[in-house]
Amino acid sequence: NSFCTLLGLLPEPESSTGVVLSQQLRRLPSQKTPQVSDRLGPPTPFELLTAETVPEECRVAARTPMSCPVTTPVPHQAHDPAVNNDPCMMPCKSALGDDCNVVNPNVPSGAPDAAGTTKVPIPAASATVDAARGSVSVPAGATPCVPDNEVDAPALAAAGGAVMEEEFAGSKAAADLAFANEWLASKPDVLAKVREVLRAYDAKLYQRSTSSVAPFWRNVLRDLVGKAGRPPQAPADADRADVESVESEPEDGQNEDDSFFAIDLSSVIVQYAKFCRHLPRVEPHYAMKCNDSKPMLAMVSALGGGFDCASKNEFRAVIDGKYQTADGIIYAHPCKMINNIQAANRRGVYLTTFDNEEELEKLHKHMPKAQAVLRIATDDSAAVCELSSKFGCPMANTQACLERARELDIRVVGVSFHVGSGNSSPDAYFKALADARDIFDRAAQLGFEMNLLDIGGGFPGSDPVPNDAGVRSLSFEEIAAFIRPVIDDLFPESVRVIAEPGRFFAESPYAICMSIHSKRKLTKRDGSVEHQYYTSDGKYGSFNCMLYDHQEPNVHVLHPDAEAAIRTTTIFGPTCDGIDWIMKQHKFPALDVGDWIFCPNFGAYTVAAGSTFNGFSTRRVEYVSSIDVFKL
C-alpha cells in the first residue's frame, strides 16, 4: 500500500541536484516499508504507523482517529513537532466511562484492549458495532459510547443513547482554536481587519466548546431557528430581483420556517492559521469558485490571502471589492476566452496558467506582459474530483510548450499542478512535485528564470471520517506532512510557492438548517413502507453539490427524539423534479412537519452553484463567530 510505503519519508539525496532527487522520488513506491530506526530525528506519526512494534489495532485506529472511542488504541509515544496537532499523533483516549457497554471491535470479547481496559460487550442479538463508521446501533435503554462524528447515527437518536463527546480541552478542535487565537493575537494588523469584518456582518458570538462539529452547530442553530433572518450577501443577488419581489411581500415576509445558512466566520480564521502552520512556506490563494460570497472574500482578504480567479467576473469582484490588488491574483484557467484575457490585461492580472501551445498564441496576441505558468497533468486517479482529463499539459508535451513560449518571447515563470480534489494518494503529490522540478531544470536550459510553484488545491476542509469499508482520505495535516519536506528538498527558498485552496477554507464555516414542511407515507407494491419528507432546499439549490461535487451531505436532526422510531426515509427538496432528493431510502429517525434538520460543513460548492429553479432558494443567512476576537 502506498499509504504505508510513502509515510513522509524521503531517501537521502545522492547529490544536491533536484534532478537526482526527483529520480529517487519516482523510485519510492517500490522501496521496502521503512522502520522508525531508518531515519534520523524524531519519528513522525506516519513512521510510527509502519513500525513493527506498534500493535495493529493502534495503527488501524490512528488511521481513523475520529473513531478512537470505539477502537481505543494505545497512545503514541512520539510525534512530529511540526505537526503536533495532527490527529494521528494525538493520544486516542478511551473516554468510554464506567457505564459504557460497547466492545472494542479490535479485541476479543471480554479481553483487555490495547489500553489495558476490559469492555463488556452488548449482546450480539441486540446491538451492532460498526467499527468502520465509529457507530453503534443499540436498543432503547442501552448506553452507546460513540462520538458524534459529523454523522448522526439514526439508531442512536432513536434509542436515546447519550453521544460521548471527547473532552474538549484535550481535543484537536480545542488545539486548533487555541493556535488560531495565538496566531491572530500575534498579528495586530490582521486582527484589526478581522474585527472590522465581524462588525460589518454583526457576527454573534457562540464560542465553541465541543470537540466535534455537529454538537456545536446544533447549539447554534437551535438558538437561531425562528429568528428574523437577513438576505445573503452574494454576488448573484442582483440576478434574482423577480424572486426577491415575491419574498419581500408583507404578508409572508421572512417566514419562520424558511431554510437558512449560518456562517461561522471565525472558522475561516482557524483554517487560515492551520494552513500557515502546516505549510508555512506556501501562500494561499483562495479558489473563489468554491464559494464567492462576500463574507468569505472579506475574511480571506482580512487574513492576507490572495485569490485564484478563473474568469473576468471573478477577478473584477476581487479588485472592485478591494479584496486584493491585481498582483494578489492568479488567473488560474489554462484555456481562457479571448475577451477574458483582454479584460485581465486591462486590469493588470498578468499571472496566468496555460497548458498548450494554442493558449500561448492567445497570450502572445492579447497579453504580451503575461507571466505564464505551465500547468502540468497529474495522476489524479485517486481523487474524488478528477481534473487532469480536462486540464494539464502531459509531460511528453511540456518541452514543445516551453520551446514555443521562447519563440513567442513569452515569459514562463513557473509550474502549476492540481492532483484533484480529495486525492488520497501521496504518490500523486510526490510525482507532481518531481515533474515540476524536472520542468524547472529543463526551462533553465532554455533560458527561463522560473521562480513560482503552484501546488493547486483540493485539500480537505474538515477532518475526514472513514467510509463503510473503514477507509478514509488523508487529512490536511497528513498531506502537509507529506509534501512539506519534498517542497523544501526540491525547491530553494528563492522559489515562491503558492496554493489554490477553496474547499479547505469554505467547507467548515457553513451549516444549512431546513424545516420539514410536508410529509407522507408510501406503501409500495411489495408491502414495504417508505416515509417521505419535504424540505425547502435541494439539488437545484444548495445541494447541487451532490451532482457536481460528489458530496454526500451528513444530515442531522436538530432536536433528536430519544423515542423516535427508525424508518426507511427519503427527504425531497422543494422543486417538482423527482430527482430532487437529498436522502433516499435511508434509515432515519421519524420526523414531523415543523421539525428541523441541518447539515454542517456545507460551504464548499453549494451556494456558489445553486439556482432559483421553480422559484425556490435559501436566502436567509446568519453570521456567527466561534472566537471572541475582541478579547485578544
Q: Which residue from 513, 497, 540 is spatially nearest to 621, judged by alpha carbons? A: 513
Cβ partners under 8 Å of residue 12, min gap 6: none
Written as nine digits, the cell of 198 is 465581524
Q: Which residues are catalytic?
A: 576
Question: If DSSP codes are grouped into helix, strand and coil, which group holds residue 625?
Answer: strand
Q: Are 405 and 368 in contact (CB under 8 A)?
A: no
Q: Rounded CA gap, 100 and 8, in Å? A: 37
Give backbone dihedrals phi and psi of 273, rounded to 5 degrees, phi first: -65, -40
Q: Are 284 and 306 in contact (CB under 8 A)?
A: yes
Q: Which residue from 456, 388, 459 is spatially nearest to 422, judged by alpha carbons? A: 459
Q: Are 543 and 573 in contact (CB under 8 A)?
A: yes
Q: Are 277 and 180 in contact (CB under 8 A)?
A: no
Q: Rounded CA gap, 554 and 292, in Å? A: 23
pLDDT tens sequence across 276-286: 999 999 999 99
CA of residue 88 relative to chain centroid, distance = 18
Q: Are 278 and 481 in contact (CB under 8 A)?
A: yes
What architecture does CATH give domain 172-272+510-632? Beta Barrel (2.40)
Question: Which of the listed ranges 54-68, 113-127, 505-519 does the model predict with the highest average pLDDT?
Answer: 505-519
pLDDT tens sequence across 455-483: 998 888 888 877 677 777 788 998 899 89
Give backbone dihedrals phi and psi of 136, rounded to 5 degrees, phi first: -140, 135
Residue 245 predicted with pLDDT over 50? no
Q: Where are the alpha helices (DSSP H) in 265-391?
A: 265-278, 294-303, 312-320, 338-347, 357-366
pLDDT tens sequence across 529-554: 999 999 999 898 889 888 877 788 89
Give the max Cα distance, the chain.
Answer: 77
Tell me the CATH class for 273-506.
alpha beta
Residue ranges of the chain that CATH labels 2.40.37.10 = 172-272+510-632
Question: If DSSP codes are grouped into helix, strand and coil, which group holds residue 630?
Answer: helix
Written as nine digits, the cell of 5 is 510505503
Q: Please state the pTM of the whole predicted model.
A: 0.74
Residue ranges of the chain that CATH labels 3.20.20.10 = 273-506
pLDDT tens sequence across 66-78: 333 323 232 332 3
Question: If DSSP codes are grouped into helix, strand and coil, which group holds residue 134?
Answer: coil
pLDDT tens sequence across 79-110: 333 333 333 333 332 332 333 333 333 333 33
Question: If DSSP codes are grouped into helix, strand and coil, which group holds residue 307?
Answer: strand
Q: Which residue from 270, 222, 203 is spatially nearest to 463, judged by alpha carbons? A: 270
Written as nine digits, the cell of 402 is 516551453
* Residues pairing with 136 in the sheet: 129
